[in-house]
Structure 1
Amino acid sequence: MRVVVAEDLTLLRDGLIRLLTAHGFDVVAAVDSGPDLVRALSEQRPDVAVVDVRLPPTRTDEGIRAALSAREEIDGLPILVLSQYVERLYARELLADGRGGIGYLLKDRVSDVGEFVEAVHRVAAGGTALDPMVVARLLDSRRRALPLDRLTPREREVLAHMAQGRSNAAIATALAITEKAVGKHTNNIFAKLGQPPSEDDNRRVLAVLAYLDGWGV
């Protein structure tokens, strides 16, 4: 799997390269600025990009801007964004096109190698990988605007795990309930969002993203 890495901190960039390479990824480019990222994504057209939100020259939002621009040029380009903090504006911008193949993790998550590698694979496959803290902040920021009362507390728990990209089996394990019960909660969530129950993974991703960004309800 071909990966482009964008990170301006040399130690972290080198660490990401070593980590990804050790787990079978082919790092085809590693850059440290927004303009270089745009060029690398355009030239390499990787299977997934791992991108820091803040890159030179201004270290504000070059990373996310470059990623969004590349995603327009390369339809559905999978992007996994890394950030030091939960920045709701950037997270919502990443979610705004309503497609899968996106992730937003705090940099602390990289220390959990298994979780990070799984997130890269998940995003590359068209799924989502949202940091639990990002999900919590997004839901909290929309609490007044969204009809969260439509969902039961358990359904909100299931939705939070769905938004992190977890399968029904993984959700069942995390919540100590049966997979059948998770399926029931999932169908209820889709029904309340106006989405007919479906086994289509892409529909599942779109419904979760639509909910988190306040669409379709």
Structure 2
Amino acid sequence: MRVVVADDSLLTREGLTAMLRRAGYEVAGAVDDGERLLALVRVERPELVVVDIRMPPTHTDEGLVAAERIQSELPETGVLVLSQYVEPSYALRLLEEHPERSGYLLKERVFDVAVLADALRRLADGETVVDPTIVARLLGRRRARDPLEVLTPREREVLALVAEGLSNRAIATRLVITDRTVEAHVAQCFAKLGLLDDASSHRRVLAVLAYLRVGRS
């Protein structure tokens, strides 16, 4: 698969490019700002894009804006947004607008080539990828009454993995339990929290993230 990389740091661009090539991807180009990214993607039509959230000129959300435009114009393109900081609001903004084939990871995490390759594979398959640190932040929010107190420790663990975008099969592998056991835990989580389960993986992720963001008192 072909990938385009966008990051204003030369060292980061070169590092990501080298990792992607080692992982078997073809790098169709690497640029340093959002406008160049959009122009390159429109020409190359890659299957995947990896983009830093903060780029010139303001170093705020240019990468996120570019990601949103790419997904509006080319919805079959998987987009992985990278951030140096934990910014749940930006992650939720991206996923709510274009949940399918969208991912948001902390930059430090993708310098593990296995993590990067797994995230891109999942995006190419139409899944959603959410950094576990963001999920943990949302799970750990302090509320007057914890809406998750109705869940068992195992159910909370499963819910967190659902929020990260893992399929039931991937959750079963991670927890070393059967697929059927995962299905039962997921069903219990959604029933106890009053959520509508959905066969679509990204809709399921959105349901959990929306619940964790807002909470219920």
The TM-score normalised by the length of structure 2 is 0.85
Q: Match of 1:39?
A: 39
Identity fraction in percent: 48
Deviations 1:90-147 (A, max 9, x none): 1111111263211111111123211111111111211122111011223445967995
Change (3 A) 1:15 1:102: same
Give the partner amino acid of 2:206. L
Query: Could you tell me which residue of structure 2 aligns to residue 188 of structure 1?
Result: 188
- Taking a change above 3 Å as real, the CA distance of residues 74 and 184 of structure 1, as seen in their structure-2 partners, is same
* SS, match of residue 103 in structure 1: strand
- How many residues align? The count is 212
Is the deviation greater in 186-195 or in 136-145?
Answer: 136-145
- What's the RMSD between the two structures over aligned residues? 2.5
Q: Secondary structure at the match of 2:3?
A: strand
The match for 1:62 is: 62
Unaligned runs of at least 5 residues, structure 2: none
Give yes or no for contact 2:47–2:76 (8 Å, CA) kept in 1: no
Would the alpha carbon gap of residues 57 and 161 (structure 1) be closer, same or farther in structure 2, given more than 3 Å must change? same
Query: What is the deviation of 1:58?
Result: 1.5
Q: Deviations along 1:150-201, whole A, 9 cap, x unmatched?
A: 54443221021122233334423433544322110122234444435x6x4x
2:134 is equivalent to residue 134 of structure 1: yes
Query: Distance between the aligned counterparts of 1:145 and 1:208, measured in 2?
Result: 23
Q: Secondary structure, in 3 states, of the residue corresponding to 2:171?
A: helix
- Match of 1:49, SS? strand
Structure 1: unaligned runs, 5 residues or longer: none
TM-score by length of 1: 0.85
Which of 190, 200, 207 is 1:210 aligned to?
207
2:118 counterpart SS class = helix
Q: Tell me the CA shift for residue 45 of structure 1.
A: 2.2
Give the counterpart letter for 2:39 in structure 1.
R
Equivalent-residue separation in structure 1 for 2:4 and 2:76 (angstroms): 15
Q: How has the CA–CA distance of structure 1 residues 70 and 155 changed in structure 2, closer, same or farther, with 3 Å as cutoff?
A: same
Of 33-42 and 7-16, the range deviating more from structure 2? 33-42
Offset at residue 21 of structure 1 (A): 1.2
